Amino acid sequence: MPDGNQLIACHECDLLQREVALPEGGVARCARCGGILFRSHPQGLERALAFTLAALVLFIISNTFPIVGLEVNGDLIQATLLGTVHMLYRDGMWIVAGLVMFTTVLAPLAHILGMLYILAPLRFGRRPPNSAALIRVLTEVKYWGMVEVFVLGVLVSLVKLADLAKIVPGIALWSFAGLMILFTAATVAFDQRQVWQKLGEVA
Amino acid sequence: MSAVTAASRGLSACHGCGLLTQTGHHHATHCPRCGAGVHARKPDSIARTWAFLIAAMIMYIPANVLPIMITESLFGAQADTIMSGVAYLWHHGSWHLALIVFIASVAVPMLKIMALIVLVVSVQFRSAWDPLQRTKLYRVVELVGKWSMLDIYVVALMVALVQLKALATISAGPGAVAFGAVVVLTMFAAMSFDPRLIWDATENNDG
Ligand SMILES: [Zn+2]
Ligand SMILES: [Zn+2]
């Protein structure tokens, strides 16, 4: 709990302010620029852990099963995410392949595993080793996961392909939509301020 | 007006974890809590932002001129740029999607580059013009940046799915590489910019 005496600087305008106690689910905003200083998440880390575990399951499903298929004259061509990356790579488009791989597979996976690594031991009152360095990596990785943009990309491609052939939606199409929601929920619930507080308590 | 900022009290907030530490002016240390380098402001913010912006503007040209997708069918080969892809959606698909792709792929990268130029120039001239509006502009730039990747994903999926020997095959064109570069470079530009510089210009007692 904040003691009401601690100073906090706005990360957008650097104004120095005193931390205040918040009602449940409340948001503290900067008095000068309106930037978010911090939020109160009741049971935030418990929830973050639950969302992260669910997101991991959906991530695995999303990367195992096909997203969509095209049916032409009885033949079915299906695309998985990794298959798509491989196809780009084979075409010599390795930069584009790398970009897709990084933003839709590697960055989200690193983010999910990183949050699990911190949250799971904390849940049982243990301090995971090297957590400080890992949290630093997580704040960088956060920018590069683009699952939600990819989901919109899938929808646009479906419309483009609808003229060409019969479209068969795959399991991963649905799991990607679910992943997008759970991943966002986990990211929001993973409150850094609370994580640091908890890490300080178990140290 | 002279607001009490962390910097004016010799304090710096860690970029990694937000912890306030005592630092002298132009004196870098490491955060005692998370170990990240602590600076009062992002180092070389203006120069770095300009470098990424200029690179993004250069790549913006091939991104829009070169084809991002090449369709080979019985009727010959057809090369699509971003704009011709939007036009195709407009005529054959739905105008909703044409609008989404236009906003994500054409409007957002251009507006993002222009907004960042306005922000950097205003900071360089130490403009005191409406810092609140400029901070909001920066927030929007940060928020929308990643949505420009949309077209890259569309092309990637088309390449994976349209491999029908009898009908058509699609491959990615060189414009896709340039376009991906624009998205990444503008994201780096936005990350390099420090919105606190906007407010520094409104202080009288800067040093
Ligand atoms: Zn502020
Ligand atoms: Zn720190």
Put simply, the answer to whether A157 touches B161 (Cβ < 8 Å) is: yes
Distance from CA of B60 to the nearest CA of A (A): 16
Band (B97; pLDDT cuts 50, 70, 90): confident
Interface test with A, best of B34, B68, B90, B157 (most A CBs within 10 A): B157
The predicted model gives A110-126 an average pLDDT of: 94
Q: In the prediction, which pLDDT does B75 show?
A: 82
Band (A2; pLDDT cuts 50, 70, 90): very low
Q: In the prediction, which pLDDT does B25 show?
A: 56
Distance CA B204, CA B131 (A): 14
Distance CA B154, CA A160 (A): 9
Tens digits of residue pLDDT in A26-82 = 899 999 999 999 888 777 899 999 999 999 999 999 999 999 998 887 888 899 999
Q: How far is the CA of B199 from the centre of ligand 1 (A)?
A: 9
Q: In the prediction, which pLDDT does A73 show?
A: 79
Query: In sequence order, which residues have a C-beta less than 8 Å from that of residue A150 and are 6 or more positions away?
Result: A103, A104, A176, B149, B153
Band (A194; pLDDT cuts 50, 70, 90): confident
Q: Does A76 touch chain B (CB under 8 A)?
A: no
- Cα B89 versus chain centre, distance: 25
CA distances from B78 to A71, A107, A191, B97 (A): 23, 34, 49, 21
Tens digits of residue pLDDT in B138-174 = 999 999 989 999 999 999 999 999 887 677 889 999 9
Minimum mean pLDDT range among A77-86, B99-108, B198-207: B198-207
Q: Which class does domain B44-206 fall in?
A: mainly alpha
Q: Does A87 touch chain B (CB under 8 A)?
A: yes
Put simply, the answer to whether A15 touches B3 (Cβ < 8 Å) is: yes
Q: In the prediction, which pLDDT does A115 show?
A: 95
Tokens of B13: 């907030």
A104 to chain B: closest CA residue: B153
Count CB neighbours of B205 within 10 A.
8
Q: In the prediction, which pLDDT does A1 show?
A: 38
Put simply, the answer to whether A35 touches B196 (Cβ < 8 Å) is: no
Distance from CA of B67 to the nearest CA of A (A): 13
Residues of B in contact with A139 (CB under 8 A): 15-16
The predicted model gives A75-94 an average pLDDT of: 91
Q: In the prediction, which pLDDT does B24 show?
A: 63
Statement: residue A116 has pLDDT above 90: yes
Band (A192; pLDDT cuts 50, 70, 90): confident
Find out whether A10 and B192 touch, Cβ atoms under 8 Å.
Answer: no
Where are the domains positioned within chain B?
A: 1-40, 44-206
How large is the angle between the packed helices A44-64 and A171-189, nearest 10 degrees? 160
Q: In the prediction, which pLDDT does B9 show?
A: 85
Across all residues in chain B, what is the average pLDDT?
A: 88
Residues of B in contact with A135 (CB under 8 A): 16-17, 34
